[in-house]
Structure 1
């Protein structure tokens, strides 16, 4: 089949949506299908893989990291690109966004009389609260918009039961099937590798004897990263020789660094910045424990990656990944937004070798 993926988010930006798109692209191509990716341009970036087509875009002021299609669809370059899409005679379109390129995907679907599948990657009503002052009207409008766009599709992919429940709760037409399909990971890539971890520690100036916590993901307020810093402050009170690696970047990056400095933790918290997806496995292997506090995630890919690399997990409880990890068996799930309870669970794991070995196996 010829499959068209449509998404505003793609490489070089690295987060859950990009990882999911790349994972499905590689798997579909390994099965003999041909995948064409339609996304937005990133100034200065050149694609390393074929069949990636980029439209001119504009930045979103509230979040400069994100971009949207230029609103003037009558522009010649856009119309020319649409004509090229029609020439390919796609068999199916897959929208990974409900916004500009998702609407474009529906346009292609309608004109070519082919089905459209939609993956709902992001908890938009919750996400938008962190970037706009209005906490009531816009989230409600986003639910209405999500329902409208979802109802345009022939089938929906939800990365977790949590998202399927949300969509049904928004009033998505019951005649439209919703399939729960989590993004898998490459177990040949994500696995235990003490040697790789040792090299990362040496690069970052961390001794082999030190205890290292790691948090991987987009550094945005919606990821509850401030909670991780506050909890680490509690953890480090009782422990010497402990570090926290914050792997990733995002719109809250500089603000979080300032919070760390003001808290007197700048000697213990290491910000790595953007790390390629192929290299992140080495950073997992440099750590002793994975910590996570986001409650806006739709599936928690990073938790699966961390566990595949042999890391125990301490996370705030969330339905997005509660079916993947079991509290008290391979992780600790903290019910309350309590930094002290979170810190107690981390210290309990680090202080009990038998329990640590059980969780890491």
Structure 2
């Protein structure tokens, strides 16, 4: 099958969406399909760089998310490319520029288009004029307008499915959790992170890895650090990633006098992510806005236990304390972190981890998405035939 994925966010941009798309692309290609990425230009890619099956369209930084980009042209060029590669289906991963281009391409080629709804926009309204301009009902209107005339939508979790149903989205919908590329995380470590960060082997390390932004609630982890250090004085918190809240969190570290206990790494290369997970004793996420929880699934795939905010998806992943624990408030988070630090660093039993990884593998993810493609194409052709007969 020839599959066109349209997205405003793709590598070298680092985000959960970009990781999800790369995981899907690689797994589908392993299964024998052709995947073509239609995305934005990026200042970190040299002009003239040739990327197999990746087509980039002129773009500018996105309002309020200047580390993200949005295309400002490409309708006709994308249609021409899509015809040349003979796309069978369009899969959009953004509701903005490339998403609209994807819908246009599908209409011009008379092929079906489906969408993955990645982002709970109601959780991000504060980025636009501090939440004074847009309200949740605007998100509902926008979502319904975008999904109108689409042939299907993928919800990465039950939480997203419930939201779309609340918005009264009535196109075919399927819940397909994003899988993890276990092989890429379990390859030989690319860097000795502890040596690079000057952390001795006997020092307990808490890791949080994400975009450094308000909705990730990293400040809550910092607030717990003084009590953690009271019991385990050597503990280090590594904050991996970059984003708009970096300066705010650095100021918080100074107020709490945690300069010797907290390390900010800034952006890290994607190839080094597995090494960061592996060096940590515990992965911690206080974010309550996750739709997929890719980071904690990646951490688990790397063999690192997790303490994460409770969602409908986490209960299926962290159903055994060997994998990690969930929490609903700061007090619970602190207790669960201390629970694992008191136990000391231990490996997750191999058989248990292998069974869990099989449930959330990239191959299973790709197979589920491909089945949705097939069902969507079948329904589209059936509807087209009925229209022709009428």
Give TM-score, length-normalised by structure 1. 0.89
Q: Match for residue 5 of structure 2?
A: 5
Q: Match for residue 332 of structure 2?
A: 341
Kindly indicate whether residue 343 of structure 2 is the aligned counterpart of residue 352 of structure 1. Answer: yes
RMSD value, Cα: 2.4
Kindly indicate whether residue 242 of structure 2 is the aligned counterpart of residue 261 of structure 1. Answer: no
| CA-CA distance at 1:184 after TM superposition | 1.4
Q: Match for residue 235 of structure 1?
A: 228
Q: Greater CA deviation, 214-223 or 81-90?
A: 81-90
Unmatched segments (≥5 aa) in structure 1:
none
Equivalent runs, 1:89-238 vs 2, <5 Å: 89-134=86-131, 137-173=134-170, 176-191=171-186, 196=189, 199-238=192-231
Cα 1:222/1:113, change in 2 over 3 Å:
same
- The question of whether the paired residues in 2 share the 8 Å contact of 1:129 and 1:139 is answered with no
Task: State the alpha-carbon separation in 1 of the partners of residues 101 and 233 from structure 2.
Answer: 54
1:56 to 34, 40, 58: 58
Unmatched segments (≥5 aa) in structure 2:
353-390
Cα 1:132/1:216, change in 2 over 3 Å:
same
- The question of whether the paired residues in 1 share the 8 Å contact of 2:314 and 2:326 is answered with no
Q: Greater CA deviation, 21-30 or 40-49?
A: 40-49
Q: Match for residue 365 of structure 2?
A: none
| CA-CA distance at 1:90 after TM superposition | 1.2
The Cα offsets for residues 35-67 of structure 1, whole Å up to 9 and x where unpaired, read as: 111111112414563121111112223221122
Cα 1:123/1:55, change in 2 over 3 Å:
same
Task: State the alpha-carbon separation in 2 of the partners of residues 198 and 349 from structure 1.
Answer: 25
| CA-CA distance at 1:119 after TM superposition | 0.5
The Cα offsets for residues 243-300 of structure 1, whole Å up to 9 and x where unpaired, read as: 0111112222233223223321122111122222221111111110111111111110
SS in structure 1 opposite 2:316?
coil
- The question of whether the paired residues in 2 share the 8 Å contact of 1:163 and 1:320 is answered with no
Q: Match for residue 28 of structure 2?
A: 28
Q: How many residues align?
A: 349
Which structure's relative contact order is higher, taking Cα pairs within 8 Å and 6+ residues apart? 2
| CA-CA distance at 1:159 after TM superposition | 0.9
- The question of whether the paired residues in 2 share the 8 Å contact of 1:222 and 1:296 is answered with yes
Task: State the alpha-carbon separation in 2 of the partners of residues 45 and 213 from structure 1.
Answer: 33
Q: Match for residue 85 of structure 2?
A: 88
